Chain A
Amino acid sequence: MKCVIPGINIKVFGRAIHALSKIGDEIYVEPLEHGLALRTVNSSRSAYGCFMFSPTFFQHYDDGSGQIRSEDSEQDAIRCKVAMKSCLTVFKSMSTIEKTVERCKIKLNMDESRLVFQLHCKHGIVKTHNLAFIECETLQAVFSKDMSPNQLTAQAKLLSDAVVNFQSNQEEITLMISPEKISLKNYVDDEPDPNKVVHTVVHLAPEEFDNCQVGVDTDITFCLKELRAILGFAEALSMPLNIHFESAGRPVVFGINSDTAFEANLVLATLADAQTQASSSQQQSTSVRAKPSQKSKTTNGIRRQQKSSEKGDNQTTLVDRTDRSVPFVSEIYLFFFF
C-alpha cells in the first residue's frame, strides 16, 4: 500500500484522525480498491467511526493489491491496526500541520512491520514516523442509512451550538423528533433524585435543518462524547451532517459526505427503552438474523469476523454467522460484525 495526500487534503485527514481518537483507542487502517478506510470502535463497542477516503482524495493511491496478487495470490490484502496514541503523534498539532505540510506519504513497510507516515514540509524538511502495527481482521459495522424513516440534515454549527449547552460530563443525550419540533435533552438516569439534576432541553425548528424528514415520531438516546467528536470534524470543515435513524434501540448513523473525495460515518448505539425492546427484537431478528446475546432482551450482539478459512475469499463478504457474539455490557445495543 502506498498513497500520497496532497497538501490541501491534509487538514481533512488529520482532523479525521483527531475525530477518531475521541472515539476509540486503536485505529484500523485498511487499504481497499475503492479507497483507504480508517476505522475505530470504542471500548464498550457502542460507537463505531469510519472514514473512507476515495482514490480521488489522494495525489497517488495504490492499495497494494496488485502487488500482493502477483507475489502470492493466497495472501489477503493487508489490514492493520495501530495505537491511536501513536497515530495521533503524527498529526499532533493541526495548526502547524496545516501551515507547514506540503504532502503526506503513507505506506506499509512489511519487512519491518511498520506503518510509515512521511510528512514533507516546507523548507525541505521531512518527518518520518514509523509506527508499529498489528495485522488484524477487518472492522466493519453493518448498518443501513437509506432505509431509515427519519433523516435529518443540519449544518454542523447548528448542532454544535445546541450541544454546547450540555455539561461536559453529560454522558448521553436524547433526540426527540416530531414533524413540528426537534429537541435535544440531557438523559438523566441512575440519579437518586432526578429532580436534583439540571435538565436541559434545546428545541430546534424543522426549518433550521437543511433537510428534515420525520417518518415516525421517535426519541432516541445515545452517547454525547462521540457525537461531539464528529461534530468537531464537521464544524472544522463546515460540512453538513446527516442523521439517519429508526427507533430507540436501533443504531443512529451520523454521516458526512464530500461528493467523491471522502465519506465519514459514525454509528452510535441507542438506548433501548422498555416499550421498544419487545418490538425491536422482532424486527432485528428478521432483518439481521443475529444470534441473540444471552442476557439482553434485544437481539443485538457484536460479532467478530473470523478470518475466512478459505483464503482469497472476497473480503467484503463480512458475515460469518457462526462465530461468537459478544454480549453488551450496558443497556446499549448495537449490531456489529467484525
Chain B
Amino acid sequence: MGFKVTVEDSKCVQANAFIQEALFHEFVMKEDQITFKINLTVLLECLTIFGGTPGESTSLKMCYAGYGCPLILVLEEDGVLTDCSIKTLEPDEILDFNFCSTNVINKIIMKSECLKEAFSELDMSSDILQFLMSPDSPHFRLSTFGNAGSTHSDFPKESDMMESFQCTQTQTNRYKISLLKPSVKALALSTRVSIRTDNRGFLSLQFMIKNEDGQVCFVEFYCAPDEDVDEGPEP
C-alpha cells in the first residue's frame, strides 16, 4: 500500500513517484484503490505554504472522503495550522507504455553522482538527448547536438560508478531533451539510477531516493523515442 503520483507530458513522457505506506506515521485506506486527478501546481503550493525551509519540520495530514470530495490538507509548523481544500478532478486515462522487462535489451544501473553532473550540464540548445548503449566501447554515451557543436559523455562499463551493466546489443535512441530535463530533479535527490531501453527504443529511468530515515522511494520516467531520427543532425 502507498501512494503513487503520475504526471504526463505530450503523451510522450510519464513520470511516477512512489511513496510507500511506511513513510507515513499513519496510513488508513478503506477502499482497495482510489484514483483522482488534482492540479499539481496548486498541490505543490499548498505543500510548501510554510516556505519549505530546510530544518523546519512541517507535519501534514491528508484526507480524502471519496469520489467527488476535495482533498483536504492540514499542515502544521510550530503550532501554526493551515487548512487547504483542493478540488479533485475526474482522472484521465493513464498512458500505458507497455514497458515490460522481458523486452528490455539494455540495462545499466549506476550511481547517480556522475549522471547528475552530465544532466545538469546538458546543452539545452540541442533538441534531443541521444542515448547510446552498447556491449562494446564506449558502452554508454550521452550526446547532444546543439548550436555550439556536439557533446558526448562516455561512461565505460569498467567505471566504478557502474553497479550493473547488462547490454546485449548496440542501441542508439534519441529523446526530446525538453521531455527528459524534468527528470533532473529526481536525479538530484537520488543515489542510484537504473537506465533501461526496450526493443522499441522506449526508455525507462528509475531513480532510487533515500530519505533521512534511510527509507527508500522510487521515481520512474518512461519516455518514447524521438521518431524523426533521419531529420536530426548528423551524430
Interface size on B, residues (CB 8 A): 21
Evaluate whether A96 and B149 lie within 8 angstroms (CB atoms) in the complex, with A123-B160, A125-B159, A126-B154 already known: no
Q: Point out the residues of chain B lying under 8 angstroms from A100, CB to CB.
A: 114, 117
Q: Is the CB of A124 within 8 A of B156?
A: yes
The digit string for A93-116, where 1 denotes a CB below 8 A from any CB of B, is: 100100010000000000000100
User: Are B151's CB and A127's CB within 8 A?
Assistant: yes
* 8 Å CB contact of B148 from A123, A128, A132: A132
Chain A contacts of B147 at CB under 8 A? 83, 86
Name which residue of chain A comes closest to B123, CB basis: A89
Tell me the bound Cα distance from A123 to B147 in angstroms.
29
Flag if B158 contacts A96 (CB, 8 Å): no
**What is the count of residue pairs linking A and B with beta-carbon distances less than 8 angstroms?**
62
A289 interface residue (CB < 8 Å to B): no
When C-beta atoms are compared, the residue in chain B nearest to A119 turns out to be B153
Q: A100-B117, A123-B161 are in contact. Are A114 and B154 (CB under 8 A)?
A: no
Chain A residues with Cβ below 8 Å from B121 are: 89, 92-93
Task: Given the known inter-chain contacts A124-B156, A125-B159, A126-B154, please indicate yes or no for A86 contacting B114, CB distance below 8 A.
Answer: no
Q: How far is the CB of B29 from chain A (nearest CB, A)?
A: 44
CB distance from B68 to the nearest CB of A (A): 49
A235 to B121 CA separation, bound complex (whole angstroms): 26
* A interface bracket (residues with beta carbon within 8 Å of B): 20 to 34
Interface residues of B in 115-162 (CB under 8 A from A): 117-118, 120-121, 123, 138, 147-156, 158-161
- Chain A contacts of B158 at CB under 8 A? 124
User: A125-B114, A125-B154 known; A114 and B149 CB under 8 Å?
Assistant: yes
Name the contact of A130 in the complex, choosing from B150, B155, B156, B159 (C-beta under 8 A).
B150
Residues of A within 8 A of B155 (CB): 123-125
B149 cross-chain contacts in A, Cβ below 8 A: 86, 114, 129-132
Instruction: Tell me, in angstroms, the Cα distance from A114 to B149 when the chains sit together.
Output: 8
In the complex, A69 has a CB within 8 A of chain B: no
CB-nearest residue of chain B relative to A127? B153
- Tell me which residues across on chain B come within 8 A of A96, comparing CB atoms: 117
In Å, the complex CA distance between A121 and B161 comes to: 12
Judged by a CB distance under 8 angstroms, whether A34 is at the interface is no
Q: CA A96 – CA B153 in complex, angstroms?
A: 15
- Distance A125 CA – B153 CA, assembled complex (angstroms): 7
A324 close to B (CB within 8 Å): no
**Chain A residues within 8 Å of B114, by CB:** 100, 121, 123, 125
Known interface pairs A86-B147, A124-B156, A129-B151; 15 further A-B residue pairs with C-beta atoms within 8 A, sorted by A's residue number = A83-B148, A96-B117, A100-B114, A100-B117, A121-B114, A123-B160, A124-B158, A125-B114, A125-B153, A127-B151, A128-B151, A129-B150, A131-B148, A131-B149, A132-B149
Q: 17 A-B Cβ contacts within 8 A? A: A83-B148, A86-B147, A86-B148, A89-B151, A100-B117, A123-B161, A125-B114, A125-B154, A125-B155, A125-B159, A125-B161, A126-B138, A126-B152, A128-B153, A129-B148, A130-B149, A130-B152
